[in-house]
Amino acid sequence: MGDIARLAGVSRQAVYLHFPKRAELLIATTRYIDRVKDVDARLAPSRNAGSGIERLDAFVEAWGNYIPEIQGVGRALMAMREHDPDARAAWDDRMQAVRQGCEAAVRALAADGDLTDAFTVAEATDLLWAMLSVPAWAQLRDGCGWSQRAYVDRMKAAARRLLVAADGRGR
């Protein structure tokens, strides 16, 4: 907090007046990054999609292309979270927002009758959320050498194969 106050040119007390807990500062920082990078505009196509399948594709595309822009902060928070409850709170806050996006896409599939019968909405949400996690992205991009375009295209295809019913109306 002292380093942040010094860099911001304010007193440490001023920082604590606005952010009584370090977790609140970290959460505000991650949300600020989302505002600066206009995550809402990026997600608009998924929110305005005409069908569940279109929403799924648009969400995977938007989030998949957003990960490279936030992965530095994400990796830092993930590295800190095991021993730092404030970092854990900040990371969990943002990842719950991603989970909500996954759930909205899955619910849209279910509403259209296109969600496979192999999973409940909760299970399908869990699977999509895990597939689109920052560690999974890092493994595929850094560990396996996938290009960013290949990552997004393959995740869209995998999500469809895993979550969309073969006939588009349940299995």
Average pLDDT over residues 113-132: 97
The rounded distance, in Å, linking the Cα atoms of 152 and 23 is 31
pTM of the predicted model as reported, rounded to 2 decimal places: 0.83
The rounded distance, in Å, linking the Cα atoms of 2 and 10 is 9
* pLDDT mean across residues, the chain: 89
Give the confidence band of 7 by pLDDT, cuts at 50, 70, 90: confident
Helix (H) or strand (E) holding 43: helix 39-47
- Whole-number Cα distances in Å, 145 to 73, 104, 150, 151: 21, 30, 10, 10
Percent of the residues in the chain that have a pLDDT greater than 70, as a whole number: 96
- Of 1.10.357.10, 3.40.50.720, 3.40.50.1100, 3.30.1300.10, which CATH number belongs to 22-163? 1.10.357.10
Render pLDDT for 17-31 as a digit per residue (tens, 0 to 9). Answer: 777 777 677 777 788
Query: Does the pLDDT value for residue 170 go beyond 70?
Result: no
What are the sequence ranges of the domains in the chain? 22-163
The rounded distance, in Å, linking the Cα atoms of 22 and 73 is 15
Render pLDDT for 39-90 as a digit per residue (tens, 0 to 9). Answer: 999 999 999 999 999 999 999 999 999 999 888 888 888 888 888 888 888 8
Give the confidence band of 168 by pLDDT, cuts at 50, 70, 90: low
The rounded distance, in Å, linking the Cα atoms of 52 and 113 is 9
Query: Does the pLDDT value for residue 133 go beyond 60?
Result: yes
- 115 φ/ψ angles, rounded to the nearest 5 degrees: -80, 130
**Which pLDDT value is given to residue 2?**
75
Give the confidence band of 171 by pLDDT, cuts at 50, 70, 90: very low
Q: Note whether 121 and 103 are within 8 A (CB).
A: yes
